[in-house]
Amino acid sequence: MEDRADDLLRFIDACPTPYHAVREASARLEAAGFTRLEESDHWSLSPGDRRLVVRNGGSLAAFEVGTVPPPSAGFRIVGAHTDSPNLRVKPRPDIRAEGYHQIAVEPYGGVLLHTWLDRDLSLAGRVTFRDAEGMQTRLVDLARPLLRVPSLAIHLYRELNQEGLKLNAQKHLVPVIGLDGDADLVSLLCRALSRKEPSSPKVEDVLAWDLMAYDLQPAVRSGADGEFIHAARLDNLASSHAGLHALIDSVGSGSPAEATRVVVLYDHEEVGSRSAEGAG
């Protein structure tokens, strides 16, 4: 049990975005003998086959084909989702005010706004760019303190303890990334990527991005006996991890079952699931 709890911490830390969650889940499934299918392929499946399918980088389905056809034996399905409430970078991100460079973000899902104050935030997600081979998409995780949403000092808001904290996401939840200057988010992103990969895209080649702020505080165990887990994105990476390893453990326990065993990790649950990658 202790090993599984510690593995959950590692899983959460490796998955700052839905795209990273699907990459991590795919790697674990492939290590357990699952092979990838494309939705556009012609599928030919046999009992005992272990397959996985990824849709648009953010959702995943994996299954082991049962020994009895599904109309007779049915499916055994576990569902969870890869997305979590967070702050997502807007298409026009750069804001300059009072000598500071800020990044425009939009709350995604059921965000508790006050929990994003006074934290070391980084950015992760994916970037689409063009190169000599056409359009490419790359996962990114800048993995260092970049952003902060500072709270006011008490002498600037003396009524806080009596009135309570009242936040407007569009006014008060705009992270600071630096002092005002000529740099914009795309140039900062390319500069950060170039430190990791010499072949990183140039500013003029970046076409689009889907970037999300996340708290750099690692997942931890606490309590007198380490009985508690404190982490971001427990909703719903905890269930994603449980479902993923329920499937991996079950297929590793012996012969295929009669029923087809399935785990589906959806994206966009936090905003209603009504997308190609969602459950709606």
- Domain boundary assignment for the chain: 2-83+233-271, 87-215
Residue 128 burial (10 A CB sphere; 0-12, 13-18, 19+): middle
- Specify the fold of 2-83+233-271: Aminopeptidase (3.40.630)
pTM given for the model:
0.94
Cβ contact 197:71 at 8 Å = no
CA gyration radius, the chain: 21
Quick one: which of 123, 108, 114 has its CA closest to 271?
108
d(CA 123, CA 141): 6
pLDDT digits (tens, 9 = 90+) for 40-57: 999 999 999 999 999 999
CATH architecture for the domain at 87-215:
Roll (2.30)
With 90 as the cut, is the pLDDT of residue 167 above it? yes
SS3 9: helix
Quick one: which of 141, 147, 152, 211 has its CA closest to 175?
147
Amino acid 2: pLDDT = 58
With 80 as the cut, is the pLDDT of residue 200 above it? no
Give alpha helix (H) positions in 74-139: none
C-alpha distances in Å from residue 100, one per residue of 103, 154, 183? 10, 21, 12
pLDDT digits (tens, 9 = 90+) for 225-276: 999 999 999 999 999 999 999 999 999 877 889 999 999 999 999 999 999 9
